[in-house]
Amino acid sequence: MSAGGCLATTILIQMAGELGRDWSLPLMPAGSMMFESLPFGALVLDALAPAVGNGLISLHDGGREGVIVVRDGAVSESVWVAEGARSTGDEAVALIRLAAAATVSACRLSDEAMNLVGPLIRSELCYGDLRLEWVVWPRLLDDLRERGRAFIVELTTPTGRGVTIIQQGRQTATFAESHPALGGSDLVDDLAAGGIGAIRILVDPGARAASPTGPLSVAAATLGGSSVADQLRERVPHLVARPIAMQDDDPNTILSALFGPHHDAGHEHLVIDNDPPSQGAPTPVDSLLPELKLLVRNRLQLSSASVEEVVDSAASDRQSVEWLADRVRVMTVRGYLHSTFVQLADDMLALTRRGTG
């Protein structure tokens, strides 16, 4: 799910809508091109797969796009994206057949590239518009490596577009528009060096984490509830991280707050474990939702939207007020002191005591 040094306290991460919404196909690796941009009506789609063997059939129709994955001469997966909504399987095939105005391209891919196609087309949106200016690029990648899950990181800059794939703590593949064949991680590092661009992070829900360091469902909750988010919550265990005291100069504060601390946190991220356990059952966020959102609006005024999203998502994910306060306590929003969020978290906890008093 930051831009360097002392600017960390003025970071606002804008997260794009609900998980799985506003989806678009990521950049795909290139192979041996068979043909490009032929009219859909000129092709017999059913006869094309055997000729491709192993590769991709790509379709574009204005703002709509689709991919048919061909393995061993047969269609294995299909995806169609229109107006930010993704369809797969038989539904995607039916919609593709209706795209009479589409243009079609086809290419054969190497075995290595074919192994990447599945994660690229099935992964779910984690962060939709994370600005390169807000992050320290190497530390962002380090953070994702620590998660133990499969991430697709797509970087779009004025000088080009690139993708790097992180699986089980390693960058396993990288490619770019300027170098569509698989290459080294420097392909995206060079793009990031310009310091301006947008980052989209996708996560493969089918890939199991080797050693989870924090709940992916936390990121899903922060981005808002949806049917896709619900599916992810079922697949990913709810591992609730304890409060984290973050360094003021940590430019990836919010990422760590959402996903949990790194394995190698050490002295950088001190886990607070000295507070006595709270008495009684935790208070559900949804039981105090109007009051909590009013607190946020009173504290943050016109800048409350991003924190209200966290509150709404915590309610839909059936989290407790105590859990929510822990997350709010380490958030930052441009123009507000960190102490504002500490006080906001305390006010949230005070609501629970008022309700039980």
Domain presence at residue 235 = no
Query: Domain containing 44: what range?
Result: 32-108
Q: What is the 3-state secondary structure (H, E, C) of 96-118?
A: HHCCCCCEEEEEECCHHHHHHHH
What's residue 79's pLDDT? Answer: 92
In terms of domains, do 17 and 132 share one? yes
Q: Are residues 75 and 152 in the same domain?
A: no
Among the candidates 210, 239, 258, a domain finishes at: 210
On whether both 88 and 147 belong to a single domain, the answer is no
- End-to-end CA distance of the chain: give it in Å, rounded: 38
Beta bridge partners of 93: none
Last residue of a domain, one of 108, 130, 149: 108
**Residue 99, helix vs strand vs coil:** coil
Are residues 127 and 203 both part of a single domain? yes
321, 351: one domain: yes
In a domain, 115, yes or no: no
Domains identified in the chain, total number: 3
CA distance 318 to 337: 29
> Which of 194, 210, 226 is the last residue in one of the domains?
210
Specify whether 15 is located in the same domain as 83: no
Residues 295 and 350 in one domain: yes
15 and 79 part of one domain: no
Q: Residue 69 is encoded by which pair of tokens?
A: 């994955």
**Crossing angle for the helix pair 321-328 and 338-356, to the nearest 10 degrees:** 170
In a domain, 152, yes or no: yes
**Residue 114 covered by a domain:** no
* In a domain? residue 70: yes
* Domain co-membership, 297 together with 171: no
- The low-confidence residues of the chain, meaning pLDDT below 50, are 1-21, 209-254, 256-278
Q: Which of 60, 61, 98, 55 is nearest to 76 (CA)?
A: 55
Are 70 and 188 in a shared domain?
no
Three-point CA angle 148, 150, 155, nearest 5°: 115
In angstroms, how far is CA 201 from the centroid of its own chain? 4
CA 291 to mean position of chain CA atoms? 29
User: CB–CB of 242/256 below 8 Å?
Assistant: no
Amino acid 256 reads S
One domain, residues 44 and 180: no
Q: What one-character-per-residue DSSP string does 164-203 give?
A: EEEETTEEEEEEETTEEEEE-THHHHHHHTT---EEEEEE
Q: What is the CA radius of gyration of the chain?
A: 22
With CA atoms as reference, report the closest residue to 311 among 253, 225, 236, 203.
225
Alpha carbon separation from 195 to 2, 13, 119, 133, 201 (Å, rounded): 12, 16, 27, 6, 17
pTM for this prediction: 0.54
DSSP 8-state secondary structure symbol assigned to residue 69: E
CA–CA separation, 163 and 77 (whole Å) = 21
pLDDT score recorded for residue 334: 65
Helices (H), 213-288: 216-222, 227-235, 253-259
Residue 280 pLDDT: 63
Task: Note the pLDDT of residue 104.
Answer: 94
Any domain includes 223: no
CA-CA distance, 109 to 153, in Å (whole number)?
21
Task: Classify each residue of 230-254 as buried b or exposed e, where b means 16 or more C-beta atoms within 10 Å of its C-beta.
Answer: eebbeebeeeebebbebeeebbbbb
In a domain, residue 233? The reply is: no
Q: What is the dihedral of CA 46, 51, 55, 59, to 10 degrees?
A: -50
Bridge-based pairing of strands 270-271 and 244-245 is: antiparallel
Chain-centroid distance of CA 177 in Å reads 21
Does a structural domain hold residue 162? yes
Same-domain check for residues 140 and 79: no
Q: Report pLDDT digits (tens) over 57-101.
A: 999 998 899 999 999 999 999 999 988 788 888 899 999 989 889
